[in-house]
């Protein structure tokens, strides 16, 4: 592939990660909070600062909570207001997805949310991987007019979901199939060659230790849920660069 033949989207969790993704050569970023939950809507302040860094290519996830993709009316109201915020701040695209109880794309709710998005590009996220029938979901999403589908091929990683990803790329007519989840330098060329995809989604994260000198091991901010207060994960420019190098041949 030539560099102009593919696009790299980096899933970022902070301004620090966005800077690294851009330094590594990313074409686009998806800004998220709550990465361990699969991504939730980032804060107003985070969106503002990232918008100042990027002239184009800024997408924001609109997801009010972790868990499933069946939303109550109050949660949908939160999503409408977050979409309004994103539009006012000049975000280029939003990433969202809603399902029915039966595991189908909620076409009615999606149409309302997409109407609220105006001119912003819409990516249907990995709620797609929880759909009962991926090919029916593909048809519905194409009818809705989403720009792309982020999917691992209904598997725990894009690499193990290769058979479905290949079939989705072959069947897609009006939407881009973008493999994501576990995409890295070691497998991105295999995913590209096996599926025919030309957009790829990755986090390229590394773990950094805290600069804190004093630490209190007796207290956890997660309460009964044990979390590491003295480390954080950020995107790595080197990892992004390596993925790009593996794809150029």
Q: What is the pLDDT of residues 24-75, one digit of tens each?
A: 999 999 999 998 899 999 999 999 999 999 989 999 999 999 999 999 999 9
| Neighbour-count burial of 232, counting CB atoms closer than 10 A to its CB (0-12 exposed, 13-18 middle, 19+ buried) | middle
CATH code of 41's domain = 3.20.20.380
219 contact partners, CB below 8 Å, separation of at least 6: none
Structural domain includes residue 103: yes
1 located within any domain? no
Alpha-carbon distance of 126 to 81, in angstroms, equals 22
**Closest CA relative to residue 25, chosen from 11, 9, 40:** 9
pLDDT value of position 225: 67
Residue 208 is part of which domain span?
Answer: 7-247
- pLDDT at residue 141 tops 90: yes
53-67, 161-175, 211-225, 226-240: which has the minimum mean pLDDT? Answer: 211-225
Residue 167 within a domain: yes
Q: For residue 64, tell me if it sits in a domain.
A: yes
Tabulate helix, strand, coil % of the chain (nearest 5): 40, 20, 40
Q: Is residue 77 part of a domain?
A: yes
pLDDT of 39 reads 95
Q: Is 8 helix (H, G, I), strand (E, B) or coil?
A: strand
The reported pTM is 0.95
- pLDDT for the residue 51: 97
> For residue 223, is it within any domain?
yes
Residue 2 lies in a domain: no
* Residue 227 pLDDT greater than 80, yes or no: no
**Per-residue model confidence (pLDDT) at position 19:** 98
Domain total for the chain? Answer: 1
CA–CA dist 112, 30 (Å, integer): 22
């Amino acid at each position: 592939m030539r560099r102009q033949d593919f696009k790299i989207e980096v899933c970022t969790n902070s301004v620090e990660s966005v800077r690294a993704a851009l330094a590594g050569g990313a074409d686009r970023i998806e800004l998220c909070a709550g990465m361990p939950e699969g991504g939730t809507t980032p804060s107003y302040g985070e969106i503002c600062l990232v918008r100042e860094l990027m002239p184009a290519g800024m997408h924001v996830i609109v997801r009010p909570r972790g868990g499933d993709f069946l939303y109550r009316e109050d949660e949908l109201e939160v999503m409408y207001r977050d979409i309004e915020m994103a539009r006012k701040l000049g975000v280029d695209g939003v990433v969202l997805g809603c399902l029915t109880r039966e595991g189908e794309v909620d076409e009615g709710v999606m149409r309302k949310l997409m109407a609220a998005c105006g001119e912003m590009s819409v990516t249907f996220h990995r709620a797609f991987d929880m759909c009962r029938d991926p090919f029916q979901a593909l048809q519905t999403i194409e009818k809705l007019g989403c720009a792309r589908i982020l999917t691992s091929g209904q598997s725990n990683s894009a690499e193990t979901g290769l058979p479905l990803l290949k079939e989705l790329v072959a069947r897609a007519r009006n939407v881009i199939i973008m493999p994501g989840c576990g995409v890295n330098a070691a497998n991105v060329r295999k995913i590209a060659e096996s599926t025919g995809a030309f957009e790829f989604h990755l986090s390229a994260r590394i773990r950094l230790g805290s600069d804190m000198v004093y630490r209190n091991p007796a207290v956890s901010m997660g309460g009964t849920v044990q979390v590491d207060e003295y480390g954080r994960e950020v995107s790595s420019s080197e990892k992004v660069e390596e993925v790009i190098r593996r794809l150029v041949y």
